[in-house]
Chains A and B, each alone.
Chain A
Amino acid sequence: MTALPQTTEKKLGLVIDLDTCVGCHACVINCKEWNTSNYGAPLSDMDAYGEKPVGTFLNRVHTYEVKQPGRTAQTVHFPKSCLHCEAAPCVTVCPTGASYKRVEDGIVLVNESDCIGCGLCAWACPYGAREMDRAEGVMKKCTLCVDRIYNDNIPEIDRIPACVRTCPAGARHFGDFADPDSHVSRLSAARGGMELMPEQATRPVNRYLPPRPKTDITGDGKIDLLAPYLDDLPTETGGFLGWLDKALERF
C-alpha cells in the first residue's frame, strides 16, 4: 500500500558531517559494490568502457564552493542519497504499491517485482535519490543496506550501511532518530543538524551537519604568520625596472 504510515517505530537514518567529508567517493563505491551484488537487481552500467558511460548509483558526492564577499572560498563535499523522508512524496505517487515506507524502521524501499518503471517517484523526489536502472527497467534507491543492518550472517561490526562502514573520515553515522539518546540524535542536536530543502515539507530523517566556520585569514587584511615579513616589501620599485614600469604605464 502506498499510503504512508502515520508514525514509525524507529526512524533509521544517517548523519552526514559536511565538516569531515573529504570527498573521496569511497561511500559511493562501497555502496555500488554492496548493492550491485545483494538485494534486488544489480546496479547496471551502460556503455561502461565506451565513450558515454552511464550507470545506476544510489549515492553521489557533489562538491560545492561556498563564498562570502571578501573572504576565502570554502570547499564543501556533499554526499547525497535517500533521506528516508517521513512525508516521502515518492511513496504516495506510486501507482502499483511498489514503493513503500516500513512501519518498523521507517526505511523507504522499492518492491522491484511490482515496479513498472514509470519513473513518477523519481519525478516526485526533490533530492534526486532515485535512479531508474536502464537494464532492469526498475527504480533503484538507497535501502539503508537493509540486508546488512539486520544480517546475522555477517560480523556485528559490519551491520551498518556500507557507506558508513567504509567512510575513512568518519563523516557518516547511522542510527535511530526516534530515540533522542541515540548517538545520531545527540550528534545532530549538538552540531545543528539540518534538513535539505525544508520548504518541500518532506520531513527528511537524514541530517546534515554544517561545516564549522573556517579561520578567517583575510579578515583584517593581514596573513598573521608571514605578515611581519610581508610588511617590509617595497610598494614601489626603484632603479631601471622602476623607470621601465613608469615608462610602460605612460605608454
Chain B
Amino acid sequence: MAIRINGTDVQAPSDPRVSLLDLLREELHLTGTKKGCNQGACGACTVLVDGERVVSCLALAVQYEGREITTVEGLSENGALHPLQEAFVEHDGFQCGYCTPGQICSAIGMAGEAKRGVPSHVTEDLSAETITLTHDELRERMSGNLCRCGAYNGIVAAITETFVEAGE
C-alpha cells in the first residue's frame, strides 16, 4: 500500500524510523513543509491527512500508508495560489516565512473543524451546532502554530478574511 501525497502515490519508507516530515523533505524534496522543533511544539511541519491537520514530525511515515497527505505544495490549483495563501500575502501574515506553510495547512484544517462544530477551549456553549470563528476562537484554535516573528495579527487577519468574511 502506498501513501498518496499531493495526488501522487509514494511507497512508504522501508525504515519505520522515518517520520512523515523527513519523508516529505529528505526523500521527496517537498521542502515547503518545515522542520522547526521536531517535537510537536511549534506546528511548522503541519500537513493535512485526509483533510485533518497533524504535525508530521511526530508521525511515523509507515503509519500513514493508505492515507492522503496534502502539503503546502498541494494547495494551489492550476498554478493559482489557494485563497488563504493570497490572503497571507495581502495581510503580511509572515516576515521570515518559516512557519507559514504550517500556519496555512493548520488554518485550512482548523476551518474544517470549526465548520463541523468541533468545540475549543474558549467555546462557551458546548451544545452549539455551529462555531463562529471569533478572534478568540481563532487564536485559541491556532495555538499549535508558533510564529517567532510575531506576525500573528496578520495571520489572524488573513484567516478571518478567507474563512469568516468569505462565509466559508
Whether both chains belong to one complex is answered with no
Chain A residues with a Cβ under 8 A of chain B? none
Chain B residues with a Cβ under 8 A of chain A? none
